[in-house]
Amino acid sequence: MQYPHPILAREGWPFIGAALLASVLVSALAGLWWSLPLWLISAFVVQFFRDPPRALPDDARAIVAPADGRIVSIERCDDPYAKRQALKISVFMNVFNVHSNRSPVDGRIVSVTYFPGRFVNADLDKASLENERNALVIDCAGGRVTTVQVAGLVARRVLCYVAAGDALQRGQRFGFIRFGSRVDVYLPLDAQPAVSIGEKVSATRTVLARWASEAGA
């Protein structure tokens, strides 16, 4: 299922419209200086919901970043959603990052499962298993990949637009998380990480990891 967007994500239209309307009304009724804080809020809301197009890297083995942000975890651990040992790479998104989520791989969705939970700081490792989250298990040529949208301290809404049985392509938009969050990707153990802790990544454009062979791509 394709998920087309203009430059500003449709999830943000009501927020952008409300912020701009309030700014215009206060400007008209009370003047520019009184409305200045509202214009600043409007500018923040517009930048938060930007959703620019992204080009895929020219690398058949590339597993791409599912979100903009900073790498906060690279570790071998249990994948509780696909019931296996996996390589987990986590991307933390702050409120200034683009929050559209994109598929890291080509494949078909096996399951989509929502888990209610807490809203602790998504920068913390415990957020992966304690926070509200939505997990996609994807079957690929190279094995199973799990992508988990995790709500954060400020985020209160995880949005997902795909279902079990849907096909995904690398870089395809599949969801959105409002106002700060995290995305965890669980990969087969033989996947080769292409990022390091603390590195800033860009959804679709950044190679997160590579399949061990061309056959996995």
Q: Which sequence positions are flagged as catalytic?
A: 181
Could you give the CA distance from residue 165 to residue 159 in angstroms, rounded to a whole number?
18
Burial state string for 55-83 with b = 16 or more CB within 10 A and e = fewer than 16: eeeeeebbbbbbbbbbbbbbeeeebebbe
- 129-159: b or e for each residue (b if 16 or more CB lie within 10 Å)? eebbbbbbbbebebbbbbbbbbbbbebeebb
In what helix (H) or strand (E) does residue 158 lie, and over which residues does it extend? strand 158-160
**What are the C-alpha distances in Å from 7 to residues 44, 48, 155, 180, 206?**
15, 11, 21, 19, 20
